[in-house]
Every structure is written in C-alpha cells, then in structure tokens.
C-alpha cells in the first residue's frame, strides 16, 4: 500500500509538471498555446520508470513477519531460510521471494456441515455427501464433526503437497468413515462418541505421518450424530425410550433383590444351622443307643436268661403302659396276677440288693 501511494504521488507530480511546461502566447486571436518542449517531456518519461524501479526495489527488499507467522525465503526457487517474527531484508524479486505462513494459528476444518461462524453452527447448512456414513451394523447416520489443526512445518506445508488443506480433509473423511464403519449404530449415536473421537484423531495422525504435510492435529470433536430421516429419528427415539424403560425395570429388580436377598440368606442360614443341630443331636442319640446296646449286650453275655426276661418285661411295659398282665403258668393251670409295674420295681429293688 505504501508503494502504491508513492507511485500515485509521482504520477501526479509528473502531470503537474506537464501543465506548468505549457506556455501561452498572446496573438491577434487571443492566447495561443505554445507547443510543449519535447526534450523536457522525454526526459521526464525516462526518469519515471527508473524512479518506479528504484522505489519497488527498495520496498521489496524489506518485509515484516508477525508474531503468529513464519516466513519461508526462497532464493532462485530454492528454500534457503525460515524467518521468525520481526523486520527482515532480502534481495529483490525474482532473486529472492518470501512466503508468510501462519504457523501459530489454530485452524478449523469442518466436515459434514458448513458455517461462517465457528461458534454458531447452522443446522440447515449440513453437507449431506460429507456427513452421511454407514455403521458396522449397516445403519445410515449423519455425522457432523470438526478438526482443529495448525501448521507445524511451513516448508513441508508449502512444498510437500499442492493442496495440504484439501488432502487433510480427504484423510479426515476417510478416517471417520473407517471408524464409524466398525461401530454399531447405538454406540455412534449415544455412548461411544468420546471413544470414536479419540480413534478418529489417532487414525488421522497415523496417516499424516506417511503424507508428511507439515500439519499437526490438535483435536477432533463430533458436533452431532443423528439418523438421516425424521421417521428413523422417531423410531430411534422409541427404541431409546424402550431401552430406558428396560434399564428402569432392571434397576427396580436389582433394588428388590438387594432388599429381599439378605432376609432370604438369613433364613437359609437359620435352616442350615437347625439342620446341623438336628444332625448333631441324631448322631449323639445314635451314639448313645450304640453305647446302651453294647452295655446291654455285655450284660446279656454274662447272664442270658435273666437279661432276656428283663428285656422282654421292659419292652412289654413300654408297649403296654399301666396294663395289668395275667401270666398263665404251664404247671397245674393256676393263674397268677403279675402287675408289671410292681414287678419291675421289686425287681429293681432286689437287683440292687443283690
């Protein structure tokens, strides 16, 4: 802009000099314009291009690099240096040329939508051919996302590829379609967005290493993910409602389980303890019976007749309590009354005396 203003001033000065060099003569018919001097005009026309060349050479030998920029300097088409912020000097064009690159500026690549404002995304500006993708379970979804990136190497960014921004966009679309194609529709639309973002970012970074574009990926954010049509959106919402009801029922069942299970476990523990106690009592009872039987057998072995009679009488007493028993002796047919209770008591008494 400064150089253009300077050239405009030079042109205006030359025009003014032309007017002042025109002389007027007074004659019979009034003032007559005297033809300009050709030598002076020719000299001015020769000086003007030289002045323009000198000014252009001086102005083109200096340049300023902003804080967020780096300048790539080429000498006869070959990169010779990369300059940082500040005032710098170079040889006139075409010997040296300077290309400034905004290396510290975070840039945003939008995929699936178009918006003039980064903070306000207009949903009506969805780019269908970019946003429409197919999931691993063969469902179609619309994915809108953006990528934040910056230039990491200005030389590679300028000379390793023709359109690095376009290549980055193609890589991002390819990576997103690959990751979405490995997920099911429920995860894409609901629970796995953060996982998908991380996987897309990792895949883009891996691909950029082979392309070597001189760019750095900062972040990947999914703006929105939804089914492609209103009918599908409605059906999906119904499915989500059913899933939420399912989760509610499961939570209610778990609450009921947590409430009743301790009581059931307590009852089961009580039953087990009762069974163990009953088992021990039966074992002890059986052991006592065995000991009693062994003791009785020892007595029986010592005196079989008496022991047999005693066992018989005790059994009869147990089977027929409080019953008067008549014993018919086989000698002479005389009937004798034998009260079992009295007999057993007297027998115990006599037995004790013996």
Of the residues 213, 228, 243, the one at which a domain ends: 228
The CA distance from 52 to 13, in Å, is: 13
According to DSSP, residue 123 is labeled: G
Domain containing 207: what range? 107-228
The domain total for the chain is 5
pLDDT in tens, 206-261: 999 999 999 999 999 998 888 877 777 777 778 778 888 999 999 999 999 898 98
309 falls within a domain = no
Residues 172 and 259 in one domain: no
Q: Take residue 37 and report the two structure tokens written for it.
A: 């001097």
As a dihedral over the C-alpha atoms of residue 140, residue 145, residue 150, residue 154, rounded to 10 degrees, the angle is 30
198 shares a domain with 87: no
Average pLDDT over residues 80-89: 89
Specify which of 31-35, 323-327, 349-353 reaches the highest per-range mean pLDDT: 323-327
Domain assignment present for 277? yes
- Position 15 confidence tier, pLDDT thresholds 50, 70, 90: low
Domain boundary among 105, 134, 159: 105
In a domain, 40, yes or no: yes
Whether residue 183 sits in one domain with residue 268: no
Q: What angle do CA 130, 131, 133 make, to 5 degrees?
A: 100
Q: At which of 196, 228, 260 does a domain end? A: 228
Q: Which tokens in the block code for residue 87?
A: 């005032």
Residues 331 and 235 in one domain: no
Inside any domain, residue 319? yes
What percent of the chain is modeled with pLDDT above 70?
Answer: 76
Gap between the terminal Cα atoms of the chain: 147
> For position 331, what pLDDT does the model report?
57
Q: Are 6 and 111 part of one and the same domain?
A: no
Quote the strand ranges of the chain, DSSP E.
Answer: 23-27, 30-34, 62-65, 70-75, 78-83, 86-89, 96-101, 107-111, 132-134, 140-151, 215-226, 325-328, 335-338
Residue 307 lies in a domain: no
Residue 235 lies in a domain: yes
User: Same domain, yes or no, for 93 and 116?
Assistant: no
55 and 128 fall within a common domain = no
Please tell me whether residues 256 and 284 are part of one structural domain.
yes
- Domain of residue 220, CATH code: 3.30.479.30
According to the model, what pLDDT value does residue 251 have?
Answer: 93
* Predicted pLDDT of residue 123: 47
Residues 234 and 347 in one domain: no
Residues 195 and 293 in one domain: no
pLDDT, tens digit (0-9, with 9 covering 90-100), for 27-65: 444 444 445 545 556 766 777 777 777 777 777 788 889
Task: Say if residue 41 is in the same domain as residue 1.
Answer: yes
Mean pLDDT of the 254-278 span: 91
Whether residues 126 and 217 share a domain: the answer is yes
């Amino acid at each position: 802009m400064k150089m253009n203003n300077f050239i405009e001033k030079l042109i205006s000065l030359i025009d003014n000099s032309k007017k002042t060099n025109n002389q007027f003569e007074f004659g019979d018919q009034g003032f007559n314009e005297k033809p300009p001097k050709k030598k002076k005009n020719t000299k001015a026309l020769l000086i003007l291009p030289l002045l323009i060349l000198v000014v252009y050479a001086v102005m083109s030998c200096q340049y300023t690099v902003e804080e967020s920029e780096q300048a790539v300097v080429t000498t006869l088409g070959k990169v010779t240096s990369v300059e940082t912020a500040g005032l710098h000097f170079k040889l006139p064009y075409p010997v040296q040329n300077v290309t400034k690159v905004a290396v510290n500026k975070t840039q945003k690549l939008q995929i699936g939508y178009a918006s003039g404002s980064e903070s306000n995304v207009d949903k009506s500006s969805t780019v269908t051919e970019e946003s429409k993708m197919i999931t691993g379970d063969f469902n179609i979804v619309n994915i809108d996302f953006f990528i934040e990136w910056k230039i990491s190497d200005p030389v590679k960014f300028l000379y390793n590829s023709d359109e690095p921004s376009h290549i980055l966009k193609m890589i991002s679309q390819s990576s997103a379609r690959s990751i979405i194609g490995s997920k099911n529709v429920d995860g894409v639309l609901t629970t796995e967005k953060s996982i998908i973002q991380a996987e897309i970012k990792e895949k883009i970074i891996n691909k950029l290493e082979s392309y070597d574009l001189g760019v750095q990926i900062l972040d990947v954010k999914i703006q929105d993910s939804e089914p492609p049509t209103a009918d599908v959106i409605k059906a999906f919402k119904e499915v989500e409602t059913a899933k939420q009801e399912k989760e509610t029922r499961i939570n209610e069942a778990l609450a009921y389980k947590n409430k009743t299970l301790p009581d059931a476990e307590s009852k089961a523990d009580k039953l087990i303890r009762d069974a163990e106690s009953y088992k021990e009592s039966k074992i002890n009872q059986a052991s006592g019976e065995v000991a009693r039987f062994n003791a009785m057998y020892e007595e029986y072995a010592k005196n079989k007749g008496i022991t047999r009679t005693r066992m018989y009488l005790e059994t009869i007493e147990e089977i027929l309590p409080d019953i008067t028993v008549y014993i018919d002796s086989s000698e002479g047919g005389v009937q004798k009354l034998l009260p079992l209770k009295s007999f057993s008591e007297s027998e115990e008494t006599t037995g004790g005396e013996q």
